[in-house]
């Protein structure tokens, strides 16, 4: 996956920015999701233990291998959670997971 820079909404659009540039050294944390219950076809999960952790390279790229299951992926930039996403990993498949976040330079 990749982490790229989005326009900072607190700045005017005419201010030069790095929109589209990779975000280096963002921390990617992968949590297991534990199924609590199934309510009328709606699965309810809670965030469990950390199963993997990595950082992005200079281009904002990252990769990791996970077993089949449900996970929560968090993107941490400058010690703040910038974005998160729940994913389902299916056996034998590759999933591209990219985030477009606004960071404060």
The least confident of 6-10, 49-53, 68-72, 75-79 is: 6-10
**Is residue 12 very low, low, confident or very high in pLDDT (cuts 50, 70, 90)?**
low
Predicted confidence (pLDDT) per residue in 33-72, tens digit: 987 777 777 777 888 999 999 999 999 999 989 999 889 9
The C-alpha atoms of residue 102 and residue 49 are separated, in whole angstroms, by 27
pTM of the model: 0.78
3-state secondary structure of 73: strand
């Amino acid at each position: 996956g990749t982490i790229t820079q989005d326009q900072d909404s607190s700045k005017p659009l005419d201010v030069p920015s790095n929109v589209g540039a990779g975000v280096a050294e963002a921390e990617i944390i992968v949590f297991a999701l534990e199924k609590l219950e199934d309510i009328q076809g709606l699965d309810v999960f809670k965030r469990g233990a950390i199963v993997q952790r990595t950082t992005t390279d200079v281009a904002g790229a990252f990769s990791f291998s996970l077993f089949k299951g449900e996970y929560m992926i968090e993107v941490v930039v400058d010690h703040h959670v910038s974005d998160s996403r729940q994913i389902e990993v299916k056996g034998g498949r590759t999933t591209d997971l990219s985030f477009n976040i606004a960071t404060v330079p």
